[in-house]
């Protein structure tokens, strides 16, 4: 019953490009604090940033067969998103598969499992966000779906969705929301530039965000260390 879905719609490449300058934390905020994958997903090297469109791939534990199937579905500007059907730390992906993805213009890998050959991947500048680094090999025996929605590291990813990943982690933006999130992210960035200037000059968040009165109303009290004893 395993299926490979072809011809998936993707976030337009011009929109994807616009996200290449924007950090994961900003996009997550601009999305209404949605879409962040679990924090155990770590990049194999830092600093790093990638933005691309998701090709999704389910795999059985200890079995990387479907990654080979998924590679064919990838094209320039994609990020491959791999999720096992049950938790597994095995090294599903290494040097050769990365070579294959790079030959197709793929921008990175997000895998809720393990990768290997990380020295070679690092040297080649192929970014990977994974749950673990592990040399354990896998078999090729069990079919799963490609380009069907998957839950990866606790978050739903649909094929064609926008994936952005950097030192802070990985965020997914629903395909149809990408443009509106882009706009909000840009506003947020503009806004942060102004705030950063104020913080640099010594202004406090208490004043910039006008918090003092609210804190007082909630009951916050200030007491001197000496009077306290």
User: Does residue 116 touch a second copy according to CB under 8 A?
Assistant: yes
Residues near 178 by beta carbon (within 8 Å), at least 6 away in sequence = 11, 15, 16, 19, 162
Determine which residue in the list 16, 50, 57, 71 makes contact with a second copy, applying CB under 8 A.
71
Q: Report the nearest approach of a second copy to the CB of residue 31 (Å).
A: 10
Which one of the spans 14-22, 29-37, 177-185 is the region binding a second copy (CB under 8 A)?
A: 29-37
Contact window for a second copy (CB under 8 A) among 14-22, 95-103, 180-188: 95-103
Please give the Cα distance from 100 to 103 (Å, whole number): 5
Our finding on whether 174 is near a second copy (CB under 8 A) is no
Residue 29 or 179 with smaller CB distance to a second copy: 29
Torsion angle, CA of 13/156/49/178, rounded to 10 degrees?
Answer: 40
Binding residue for a second copy (CB under 8 A) from 12, 18, 168, 179? 168
Q: How far apart are CA 189 and CA 184, in angstroms?
A: 9
137 scored as a contact of a second copy (CB under 8 A): yes
CA-based end-to-end distance of the chain: 71
Residue 209 touching a second copy (CB under 8 A): yes
Residue 11's SS3 state is: coil
Residues with Cβ within 8 Å of 131's Cβ and at least 6 positions away in sequence, in order, are 40, 41, 89, 111, 112, 113, 114, 153
Could you tell me how many residues of this chain bind a second copy (CB under 8 A)? 101
Closer residue to a second copy, CB minimum distance, 24 or 178: 24
Residue 186 in contact with a second copy, rule: CB under 8 A: no
Q: Which of 11, 16, 36, 54 binds a second copy (CB under 8 A)?
A: 36
Considering only the stretches 11-19, 130-138, 177-185, report the one whose residues sit in contact with a second copy under the rule CB under 8 A.
130-138
Residue 37 CA neighbour count, 13 Å, CB half? 32
211 is a contact residue toward a second copy (CB under 8 A): yes
Q: Distance between CA 2 and CA 53 in Å, rounded?
A: 22
- The nearest distance, CB 76 to a second copy, in angstroms, is 12
Is the peptide bond preceding residue 47 cis, with omega within 30 degrees of 0? yes
């Amino acid at each position: 019953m395993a299926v490979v879905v072809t011809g998936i719609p993707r976030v337009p490449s011009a929109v994807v490009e616009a996200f290449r300058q924007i950090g994961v934390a900003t996009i997550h905020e601009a999305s209404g604090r949605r879409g962040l994958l679990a924090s155990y997903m770590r990049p194999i090297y830092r600093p790093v940033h990638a933005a691309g469109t998701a090709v999704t791939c389910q795999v059985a534990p200890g079995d990387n067969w479907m990654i080979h199937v998924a590679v064919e579905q990838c094209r320039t500007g994609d990020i491959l998103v791999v999720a096992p059907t049950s938790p597994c730390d095995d090294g599903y992906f290494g040097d050769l598969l990365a070579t294959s993805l790079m030959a197709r213009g793929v921008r990175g890998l997000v895998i809720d499992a393990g990768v290997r050959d990380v020295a070679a991947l690092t040297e080649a500048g192929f970014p990977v966000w994974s749950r673990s680094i592990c040399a354990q090999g896998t078999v090729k025996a069990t079919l799963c779906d490609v380009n069907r929605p998957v839950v990866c590291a606790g978050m739903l990813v649909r094929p064609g969705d926008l994936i952005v990943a950097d030192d802070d982690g990985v965020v997914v933006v629903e395909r149809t929301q990408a443009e509106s999130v882009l706009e909000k992210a840009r506003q947020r960035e503009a806004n942060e530039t102004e705030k950063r200037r104020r913080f640099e000059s010594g202004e406090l968040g208490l004043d910039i965000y006008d918090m003092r009165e609210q804190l007082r109303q909630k009951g916050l009290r200030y007491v001197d260390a000496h009077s306290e004893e």
